[in-house]
Chains A and B, each alone.
Chain A
Amino acid sequence: MKPISFITSVAAVTAVAAMTFAGATVASAKSTLEIVKERGNLRCQVGTPSPGFYNLDAKGEWYGSDVSICQAVAAAIFGSKKKLEIQSVSSQVRFTALANGESDLLSRTATWTLLRDSQLGLDFTAVNFYDGQGFMVPKNSGITSALDLKGATVCVLTGTTTELNLADFSRANKLNIQPVTFEDQNVRNDTYLQGGCDAITNDKSGLASNKAAFPNPGDHIVLPETISKEPLAPAVRQGDGQWFNIVRWTVYALIGAEELGVTKANVDDMRANSTNASVRRMLGVEGNLNEGLGLGKDWAYNVIKEVGNYGEIYEAYMGGGKLGIGIGRAGSANDLWTRGGLMYSPPFR
């Protein structure tokens, strides 16, 4: 634990210093879009591999839902998702690496909070995944609600807000939960499986993917309570409104395409034959929605053509796809607003 807390403090100092310099370094004559176009690729920051969001496969290629956001932005600018350099940055220096210009875009599981939005010199664009902290227990424990965890020992990862949320929840409900902290989630899982603690707490996406990897996934259940709000959104440096809009509207294009029924497979057909004015405007057949963004007319077409719509990305990496981590979507916050979720795109007009 010691070295990591040291690293965290070093990182904190670096971050503060970075913010001090950020204004001077980043306020430049050139816009981010110009810099990216000149360089010929997008530098997109993800974290160290995390299931569902960003992962390396055995061939050394990146995949995951946050990686898809990177690919979508690259496609919007260049028309090809391949013009992309994925940077994997540890969570201690993620905001510094964005502030110092190393990354153009931060697309990793960063929770949108007031503090970060207002004090770190960055702007969160649009939520692409609603997560929340939950609990997992062995099925045979008979526990069916987080309120049954009175006096329980709970395994939790240290150094994240997870630990803090657990303490808040315990105090608010007078549960006297005993946290057992871990640095490494694999070690935490092993401890839990060997009976070292009564429950695990983590973001629900993480719980689902952990559970899927257990020898007997059916022996464990995720409790219904969600004790924190974790809206995850891509972030950009403050001060470049055009770049902010490009990233935000790329995410909205993914969601909007799903609302309008545009998929990777039918996007060509839609562009040629659709009579729906929203679809025609979004795909650049009519109107000039692209001008304010400084992108080509077919930017949204390229996004859908290259990576698919939001639902397709979710299915592939979060849902039941071959590389998915198996989190149900129907009725959850990540479903479309028309089906009771929170995914909602402002109109394309």
Chain B
Amino acid sequence: MAIANGEKTAARSAPLNETSFIGWLHKNLFSSWINTILTLASLYIIYMVVMSMWTWGIANAVWIAENRRECFAISKDGACWAGVIIWLENIFYGRYPRDELWRVNLGGLLLILWMAPLWLPRVRDKIFIGLSTVFLYPFLAAYLFSGGDKGIFMQIMVSGAIVCLIGNTLHAAIGVFGDSSLPATLLRVLGKAEASDSNQRNTLLTILAIAFVAVFLLQMGWTTKFVPWTKWGGMFLTLVISGIGITSALPGGIILALGRRSKLPVIRVLSTSFIELFRSVPLITVLFMATTMFPLFMPEGFVLNKLVQVIIAVCLFSACYMAETVRAGLQAIPKGQYEAAHTIGLGYWGMMGLIVMPQALKHMIPNIVGSFIGLLKDTTLVSIIGLFDILGMLRSISQDVPWRGLHKEPLIFGAMVFFIICFIMSKYSRHLEVKLSAGANR
């Protein structure tokens, strides 16, 4: 006998097991007695670790004190963050003169201002903005950080950089708010929107020249106090070295990788041996060679800035690693792509720049960011050759007489700083990957 009910039964909610928190716990953590034991044991371990860190690092910690003895007087089993706090300026700026710190901060702000348009929507000519960051910003920053007398070359580059920065910022603002570009807006304002191409170009060049001359005259009255590189240090120095290393790694790596895959034997052999030489030597050896041995081979009285030597060494080293990453990316591109590019009449550079590289770079992002993060951390090796980067400064705290022996807290602080920077980099790379592969999921 079949019981048929024409009425549809009311929808029941999912079983408690599947939706409630308790159900989730039961299913995932306490499903059998062995899992229950494991869960409880893990919880206990986590509790112990977190509690002891909390007690040591926060609850019993000393935040304000004159010296370590005072920390001990207040609490013997807590962290003494006071030493790290008093040393913060050293940790971030090194021995940079304290009343000139604004220059370092301004340099950082200008970089953000310069690069911000790259991430804003509706801004045009982003390639130009990116290139100007790489080629002009370093001059402005170099003068800002080191100061002193400007040579004529430096004056020109600094003026160019300032003009470019103003132009970039206006261009970005016009792009975001007016959905237009700086040249177009200028022409419209001057009533030349309808003029001929050559007329327009001459007008724009005139405006550029006037702006350049104006800035040039203004900057002649602007000088800052000379700060020798030996006073640079802390996080600032770490970022300068790794920043330059990172910026130059990709172009250098691409050139080396293309060289290694080149059909011309001389270029191929040179690139390959260069890459293999630097890759098979540890960075610290390269640094020792650059700073200690190099001066011995130079003529009498020729003393090159040690910081420059270090930066060159880091750039060469990172370019070689990057070259292999790029080569791996190139090999992932099917041969058909090359052939297709040739078919539509592209030459070597057109094929590489328009077809192959864009696809290859997308595949390489995780590796590229991986090497950047590695490079950032590797630059702490310069503390061994006597530059006071962030690690050098952190380690000096335990030797300063008032803070004698304070070594755990600075290193923990340093670990947090590095974690934050590296985590942001890796999150950003993830974001880039998703953004660039949007086409693949269409």
Contacts and interface: CB of A to CB of B under 8 A. Distances in A.
Interface of A: 3, 6-7, 10-11, 14, 17-18, 21-22, 25, 28, 35, 48-52, 55-61, 85, 87-90, 92-93, 96-97, 100-102, 184, 186, 189, 209-210, 212-215, 323-325
Contacts of B216: none
Nearest to B91: A58
Contacts of A85: 228, 230
A18 B405 contact: no
A215 B77 CA distance: 10
A224 B68 CA distance: 28
Contact of B400 (A10, A58, A215): A58
A76 B89 CA distance: 33
B262 interface: no
Interface string B73-100: 0001000000000110110011110100
Given A50-B399, A56-B90, A58-B86, A97 B76 contact: no
A21 B95 contact: no
Contacts of B34: none
Interface stretch (B131-139, B141-149, B181-189, B291-299): B291-299
16 contacts: A6-B282, A14-B289, A18-B293, A21-B297, A25-B296, A28-B300, A51-B401, A55-B400, A56-B393, A60-B98, A87-B386, A90-B385, A92-B384, A93-B385, A100-B296, A102-B303
Contacts of A212: 404
Contact of B405 (A35, A88, A213): A213
Contact of A18 (B93, B95, B292): B292
B76 A215 contact: yes
B274 to A, nearest CB: 21
Among A61, A100, A189: residue with most chain B CB under 10 A: A100
B51 to A, nearest CB: 20
A17 B293 contact: yes
Interface string B393-404: 101101111101
B125 to A, nearest CB: 42
A129 to B, nearest CB: 16
A58 B404 contact: no
A96 B292 contact: yes
Given A14-B288, A87-B230, A215-B76, A60 B401 contact: no
Best-surrounded residue of A52, A186, A189, A209 (most CB of chain B within 10 A): A186
Nearest to B385: A90
Given A48-B395, A58-B90, A186-B398, 4 more contacts: A49-B395, A60-B94, A87-B230, A209-B401
Given A55-B400, A56-B90, A56-B95, A11 B288 contact: yes
A28 to B, nearest CB: 6
B42 interface: no
B392 A48 contact: yes
B396 A21 contact: no
Contacts of A97: 292
Given A48-B386, A87-B386, A209-B404, A93 B90 contact: no
A58 B295 CA distance: 32
Given A10-B285, A90-B385, A55 B401 contact: yes
A3 to B, nearest CB: 8
A79 to B, nearest CB: 21
Contact of A100 (B228, B295, B388, B404): B295
Contact of A101 (B94, B303, B392): B303
Given A51-B399, A87-B230, A215-B76, A59 B404 contact: no
Given A18-B296, A56-B396, A102-B295, A90 B401 contact: no
Contacts of A6: 282, 284
B386 A89 contact: yes
B72 A10 contact: no
Contacts of A22: 296
A55 to B, nearest CB: 6
B437 to A, nearest CB: 39
- 6 tightest CB-CB pairs across the interface, nearest first? A213-B405, A60-B95, A213-B404, A49-B399, A186-B407, A21-B296
A90 B386 contact: yes
A92 to B, nearest CB: 8
Contacts of B395: 48-49
A60 B90 contact: yes
Interface string B88-127: 0110011110100000000000000000000000000000
Given A7-B384, A55-B400, A88-B388, A14 B96 contact: no
Contact of A10 (B284, B297, B398): B284
A35 B302 CA distance: 12
Contacts of B393: 56
A10 B296 contact: no
B392 A100 contact: no
Nearest to B393: A56
Given A58-B87, A58-B90, A14 B293 contact: yes
A50 B400 CA distance: 8
A324 B67 CA distance: 13
Contacts of A213: 68, 404-405
Interface in B148-186: none
Contacts of A215: 72, 76
Nearest to B77: A215
Interface string B298-318: 001101001000000000000
Contacts of B295: 100-102
A25 B302 CA distance: 11
A96 B385 CA distance: 12
A342 B230 CA distance: 37
A51 B386 contact: no
A123 B301 CA distance: 21
A102 B285 CA distance: 19
Contacts of A92: 384
A20 B207 CA distance: 60
A90 B230 CA distance: 15
Nearest to B94: A60
B384 A90 contact: yes
A51 B306 CA distance: 26
A169 B370 CA distance: 50
Q: Among the interface residues A28, A56, A97, A101, which one has the most CB atoms of the partner chain B within 10 A?
A: A56
Q: Which among B288, B300, B399 has the greatest number of chain A C-beta atoms within 10 A?
A: B399
Contacts of A214: 405
A102 B303 CA distance: 8
A194 to B, nearest CB: 13
Contacts of B400: 49, 51, 55-58
Interface string B263-288: 00000000000000000001011001
Contact of A51 (B86, B94, B231, B404): B404
Contacts of B405: 186, 189, 210, 213-214
- In this complex, the member of B94, B301, B405 whose beta carbon has the largest number of chain A beta carbons within 10 angstroms is B405
